[in-house]
């Protein structure tokens, strides 16, 4: 018998794609008074797949397009070009019935846990609203019982029903926001900077809650964040964004331990570390040069003007003349760099483990 007969069916199973972003671009008009109208390119031909049951993180500096991509995926901002497929169906070509089903299936937890809750409504009313809109529970005792279950699932006491958002701390309000997202039994949750507005001690509690909910309810997360240590703690894959494009994507540990894009390496080197011994020994990568214009698409690599690797290699012409494609590298994940093999192999500076 040949060795190929020992391959089981489980070996061949591919992860199920829940969301597929294909060649999406988003541009915003400016108030320029010049004769030629100018646009700000927030997303530039982004393609991405999110698999069922995973936590995919989007990281990068402010203005990189993370939140815009999250809004496109969650149906809050149609792309200028490209398509978004949810469970195989083109999201922005569906009818009203399709949108209603989609709104139940995908929910969003926003960054600010106070402004995302209606301050004039009691918590009970906030959590009943999605149940009423989607007719998931009958009025009266059934809805009240469901609201109490939601509060318990996020670690809140049921007596919160009769109180207003202003009576709670930031961490408690974020728990309520998560409970509201869970009310319609979603399959996917987009988490837009869910811990950045919270104290550090509360951040850990919310992260542990999210991990437990994902396991218990078989959820899929798109986790948008700046905190690289938090991302390594919760994410199974990570996508690095720069100037509206994904420059690297792969399994979290692979990207952190063997980054294959110079921007990813610089990003990791800038992350704070609690261990002073490691902090003293590691080498920071300082980026020089100017950011490319957000109103003009660069012909070559968008990172070329700040790239320490390009400088080290003598500024190869290809970096400014040809835009690199996101292709698999020898380390097992994809990078949009012309010279990924020239990046030194080094352990990640982020020591937090999953």
Per-residue pLDDT tens over the stretch 234-280: 999 999 999 999 999 999 999 999 999 999 999 999 887 777 776 67
Q: Please give the pLDDT value at position 33.
A: 61
Q: How confident is the model at residue 29 (pLDDT cuts 50, 70, 90)?
A: confident
88: confidence class by pLDDT, cuts 50, 70, 90: very high
Dihedral over Cα of 62, 63, 65, 68: its sign:
positive
3-state secondary structure of 40: strand
Residue 314 inside a domain? The answer is yes
Question: Would you say residue 67 lies in a domain?
Answer: yes
Pairing of strands 237-242, 55-59: parallel
Q: Which of 16-25, 97-106, 333-342 is predicted least confidently?
A: 97-106
Parent domain of 209: 15-30+37-115+187-342
Task: Answer yes or no: is pLDDT of 353 > 50.
Answer: no
pLDDT confidence bin for 109, thresholds 50/70/90: very high
Residue 146 lies in a domain: no
Instruction: Tell me phi and psi for residue 277, to 5 degrees.
Output: -65, -45
- Report the number of distinct structural domains present in the chain: 1
Q: Are 175 and 206 in contact (CB under 8 A)?
A: yes
> Domain with 328 in it: what CATH number?
3.40.50.300
Least confident interval from 104-108, 140-144, 277-281: 277-281
77 domain residue, yes or no:
yes
Is residue 122 in some structural domain? no
* Stretch among 4-8, 54-58, 97-101, 113-117 having the lowest mean pLDDT: 4-8
For residue 109, give the 3-state DSSP assignment.
Answer: strand
User: Can you give the pLDDT at residue 279?
Assistant: 66
Averaged pLDDT for residues 12-18: 81
Q: Looking at the domain assignment, is residue 172 inside a domain?
A: no
Say what the pLDDT of residue 95 is.
83
pLDDT at 261: 96
Write out pLDDT tens, residues 192-220: 999 998 998 899 999 999 999 999 999 99
Residues 281-326 pLDDT 10s: 777 888 888 888 888 888 899 999 999 999 999 999 999 999 999 9
Domain presence at residue 333:
yes
Q: What is the mean pLDDT of the chain?
A: 89
Q: Provide the H-helix boundaries in the chain.
A: 9-12, 66-73, 96-105, 123-133, 141-153, 170-182, 200-217, 228-234, 252-257, 262-270, 276-281, 308-312, 318-321
Among the residue ranges 99-108, 128-137, 345-354, the one predicted with the least confidence is 345-354
CB under 8 Å to 315, separation ≥6 — which residues?
A: 304
Residue 330, in any domain of the structure = yes
């Amino acid at each position: 018998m040949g060795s190929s007969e020992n391959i089981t069916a489980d070996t061949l199973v591919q992860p199920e794609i829940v969301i597929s972003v294909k060649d999406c671009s988003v541009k915003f008009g400016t108030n320029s008074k010049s004769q030629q109208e100018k646009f700000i390119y927030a997303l530039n031909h982004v393609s991405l797949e999110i698999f069922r049951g995973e936590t995919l993180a989007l990281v990068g500096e402010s203005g990189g397009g993370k939140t815009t991509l999250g809004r496109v995926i969650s149906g809050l901002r149609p792309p200028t070009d490209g398509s978004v497929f949810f469970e195989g169906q083109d999201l922005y070509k569906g009818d009203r019935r399709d949108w209603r089903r989609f709104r139940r299936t995908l929910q969003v937890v926003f960054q600010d846990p106070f402004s995302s809750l209606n301050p004039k409504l009691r918590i009970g009313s906030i959590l009943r609203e999605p149940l009423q809109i989607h007719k998931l529970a009958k009025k009266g005792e059934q809805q009240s019982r469901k609201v109490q279950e939601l509060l318990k699932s996020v670690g809140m006491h049921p007596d919160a029903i009769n109180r207003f958002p202003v009576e709670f701390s930031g961490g408690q309000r974020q728990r309520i926001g998560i409970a509201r997202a869970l009310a319609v039994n979603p399959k996917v949750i987009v988490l837009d900077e869910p811990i950045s507005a919270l104290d550090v001690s509360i951040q850990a509690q919310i992260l542990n809650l999210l991990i437990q909910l994902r396991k218990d309810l078989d959820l899929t997360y798109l986790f948008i964040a700046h905190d690289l240590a938090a991302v390594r703690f919760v994410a199974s894959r990570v996508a690095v964004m720069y100037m509206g494009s994904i420059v690297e994507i792969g399994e979290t540990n692979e990207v952190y331990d063997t980054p294959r894009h110079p921007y990813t390496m610089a990003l990791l080197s800038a992350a704070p570390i609690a261990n002073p011994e490691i902090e003293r020994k590691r080498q920071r990568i300082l980026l020089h040069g100017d950011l490319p214009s957000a109103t003009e698409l660069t012909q070559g690599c968008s990172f070329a003007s700040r790239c320490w690797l390009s400088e080290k290699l003598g500024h190869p012409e290809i970096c400014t003349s040809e835009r690199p494609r996101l292709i698999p590298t020898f380390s097992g994940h994809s990078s949009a760099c012309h010279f990924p093999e020239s990046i030194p192999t080094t352990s990640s500076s982020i020591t937090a483990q999953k």
